[in-house]
Amino acid sequence: MASNPQAKSSFHMSPEEFREQGHAVVDWIANYYRRIESFPVMSRVLPGEIRESLPKEAPVQPEPFERILGDIEKIILPGITHWQSPNFFAYFPSNASGPAILGDLLASGFGVQGMLWATSPACTELETHVLDWLVTALALPGKFRSAGNGGGVIQDTASSSALCAVLAARERATNFEANRAGARQKMTAYTSSQSHSSIEKAIKIAGLGSDNLRLIEVDESFAMRPAMLADAVKLDKAAGRIPFFVCGTVGTTSSNGMDPLEEIGRVCREFNLWFHVDSAMSGTAAICPEFRHFQEGIEYADSYCFNPHKWMFTNFDCDCFYVADRKALIEALSVLPEYLRNKATESGAVIDYRDWHVPLGRRFRALKLWFVLRYYGIEGLQFHVREHVRLAQEFAKWVLGDKRFELVVPPPLNLVCFRLNASDEVNQQLMDALNRSGDLFLTHTKLRGRLVLRMSIGQTNTAQHHLEKAWERIQEEASRLV
Ligand code: PLP
């Protein structure tokens, strides 16, 4: 049935038409995954090209759905960088999966806004439950479970988790008076020189001033040096400042560096500092017992986050944020206007997640995570995580076996940092040529001042033959340059 706007009694899409067009969209997505490897991984459009293909103003007359969907193929597809291609090795993965896409579709179908328990009890209770499941599945400390004083919440991103951690820490350190003028000026925070830019952003947003964030030096494996952290804290205290927050990272963005949580945690305990652990990408690895040593010392943490939207096959956006003491977080963020008062909240028997993050409104994100956990099972997730790590270790061996290349640091998990033994300029040329070819997409960083290429292995469908082909292409392009 072709949709004919003239024949409709209203402008809405009827459930029947939704069914028909919904099937067409699901077909389109399934076909997209079938042919994804035929597209250049990195979009080739020029700045402004997509907008030029679009009408200057919004349509006045309704358009048939078929035409709208047709423009996905014609206008949008060329401007897509294919994050779900198995040849995507850039940044960190943002891997998706069938069950997650379908869970997300259902969340859209319900269209609930779960700001309060009362606004859709299932939205809150499923989230609490699934986050409790993950405490066990990832062997996180029991204090992060909702049954005690702690609990977990889904945030949009690790950046939001970092911000909430900083805000809760700021309030706890000032007896919940940091919003009073002048109270924040002397507060100092600490993280390593390798931590993610979202930590600095959180400090800026929290009104603490990026000058008050100390970037602690790292060792040869790009892990924070706890002794230098302790020295910096002591120096600040001696100068009359108020150290209050430390962020450690399990799996830094540049090189997958692993901060020593245990030693950092002890410093935090000694000086009564809030300890946040950012495990955005690498946290998923803890699903496998053999990779849990990277989070030794996590029991010192006041808060912790990892992103199922990076490596746990759960479509963006989905970050799991845990706190050991939910009171500190809620007290920092809660403002209760009259129009949100309700009996369930007043009973004290429910969680209202609106108090656990910056926005009021929230999507039913737990559905997609629940679908993933049930569809894969812990075993399925372990299987794929192990496979990604195995592939990365394999790739590192290939790099070591070719004298033209250098393995910059042994890969702890699924990120391989390497470079051609040549200038930064030549390495940049190598990466640009590979990305221009469309065969694969990888990105760079700077480590010890040198440009380094990053092979980040975590896309859902990346298999051995994709890696072999990628390495072949890298060697081929290298032969043209050195
Ligand atoms: N922390 C680390 C270690 C990351 O690698 C990243 C992103 O790559 C982030 C935080 C930010 O993630 P998000 O986009 O969820 O804010």
Kindly state whether residues 260 and 121 are assigned to the same domain: yes
Kindly report the CATH number assigned to the domain that includes residue 271: 3.40.640.10
**In the chain, how many domains are there?**
3
Ligand 1: which atom is nearest the Cα of residue 162?
10
Kindly state whether residues 313 and 220 are assigned to the same domain: yes
- Ligand 1 centroid, distance to 430 Cα (angstroms): 26
Over residues 17-28, the mean pLDDT reads 98
Asked whether the beta carbons of 304 and 144 are under 8 A apart, the reply is yes
Give domain status of residue 428, yes or no: yes
Give domain status of residue 100, yes or no: no
- Sorted by sequence, the CB contacts under 8 Å of residue 129 that are 6+ apart come out as none
Kindly report the CATH number assigned to the domain that includes residue 50: 1.20.1340.10
pTM of the model: 0.95
**What share of the chain in percent tops pLDDT 70?**
98
Kindly state whether residues 270 and 179 are assigned to the same domain: yes
Kindly state whether residues 117 and 196 are assigned to the same domain: yes
Give domain status of residue 312, yes or no: yes
- Ligand 1 centroid, distance to 158 Cα (angstroms): 5
Give domain status of residue 393, yes or no: yes
Asked whether the beta carbons of 371 and 380 are under 8 A apart, the reply is no
Could you report the per-residue pLDDT of 116-142, keeping only the tens digit for each? 999 999 999 999 999 999 999 999 999
DSSP 353-388: GGGGSS-S----THHHHHHHHHHHHHHHHHHHHHHH
Kindly report the CATH number assigned to the domain that includes residue 426: 3.90.1150.10
- Ligand 1 centroid, distance to 239 Cα (angstroms): 33
The CB of 281 under 6 Å from ligand 1? The reply is yes
Query: What is the pLDDT, as a whole number, of residue 147?
Result: 95
Could you report the per-residue pLDDT of 402-415, keeping only the tens digit for each? 999 999 999 999 99
The CB of 317 under 6 Å from ligand 1? The reply is no
Query: What is the pLDDT, as a whole number, of residue 1?
Result: 46
Kindly state whether residues 167 and 293 are assigned to the same domain: yes
Question: Which of 160, 191, 224, 281 has most ligand 1 atoms within 8 Å of CB, for mutation?
Answer: 281
- Ligand 1 centroid, distance to 189 Cα (angstroms): 19
Task: Give Dmax over CA atoms of the chain in angstroms.
Answer: 77
SS3 175: coil
Over residues 279-302, the mean pLDDT reads 98
- Ligand 1 centroid, distance to 165 Cα (angstroms): 14
Kindly state whether residues 182 and 283 are assigned to the same domain: yes
Asked if the model's pLDDT at residue 183 lies above 70, the reply is no
Kindly state whether residues 385 and 326 are assigned to the same domain: no
Query: What is the pLDDT, as a whole number, of residue 178?
Result: 81
Ligand 1: which atom is nearest the Cα of residue 251?
3
Give domain status of residue 8, yes or no: no
Can you tell me the distance from the alpha carbon of 152 to that of 146, in angstroms, rounded to the nearest whole number? 7
Query: CA of 392: how far to CAs of 190, 408, 412, 440, in Å?
Result: 31, 14, 9, 15
- Mean of per-residue pLDDT scores for the chain: 95
Could you report the per-residue pLDDT of 367-392, keeping only the tens digit for each? 999 999 999 999 999 999 999 999 99
Asked whether the beta carbons of 154 and 196 are under 8 A apart, the reply is no
Kindly state whether residues 325 and 386 are assigned to the same domain: no
Query: What is the pLDDT, as a whole number, of residue 60?
Result: 96
Can you tell me the distance from the alpha carbon of 334 to that of 445, in angstroms, rounded to the nearest whole number? 39
Kindly state whether residues 172 and 218 are assigned to the same domain: yes
Can you tell me the distance from the alpha carbon of 299 to that of 473, in angstroms, rounded to the nearest whole number? 44
- Sorted by sequence, the CB contacts under 8 Å of residue 133 that are 6+ apart come out as 373
Task: Give me the domain span that covers residue 169.
Answer: 112-363
Domain boundary among 298, 328, 363: 363
Query: What is the pLDDT, as a whole number, of residue 6?
Result: 54
Could you report the per-residue pLDDT of 146-180, keeping only the tens digit for each? 999 999 999 999 999 999 999 999 999 998 888 77
Can you tell me the distance from the alpha carbon of 55 to that of 58, in angstroms, rounded to the nearest whole number? 7
Kindly state whether residues 352 and 472 are assigned to the same domain: no
Burial 211-246 (b: 16+ CB within 10 A, else e): ebbbbbebeeebbbbbebbbebbeebeeeebbbbbb
**What share of the chain in percent tops pLDDT 90?**
92
Could you report the per-residue pLDDT of 74-95, keeping only the tens digit for each? 999 999 999 999 999 999 999 9
pLDDT band at 464 (very low <50, low <70, confident <90, very high): very high
Burial 309-336 (b: 16+ CB within 10 A, else e): bbbbbbbbbbbbbbbbbbebbbebbeee
Only one residue has tokens 């559905």, namely 367
Give domain status of residue 258, yes or no: yes
Q: Are strands 242-249 and 274-278 parallel, antiparallel or unpaired?
A: parallel
Could you report the per-residue pLDDT of 295-315, keeping only the tens digit for each? 999 999 999 999 999 999 999
Kindly state whether residues 177 and 321 are assigned to the same domain: yes
Give domain status of residue 337, yes or no: yes
Query: What is the pLDDT, as a whole number, of residue 335?
Result: 85
Kindly state whether residues 422 and 356 are assigned to the same domain: no
CB count within 10 Å of CB 24 equals 12
Question: Which of 155, 194, 196 has most ligand 1 atoms within 8 Å of CB, for mutation?
Answer: 196
Give domain status of residue 244, yes or no: yes
Can you tell me the distance from the alpha carbon of 187 to that of 323, in angstroms, rounded to the nearest whole number? 21
Closest CA to ligand 1's atom 12: 158
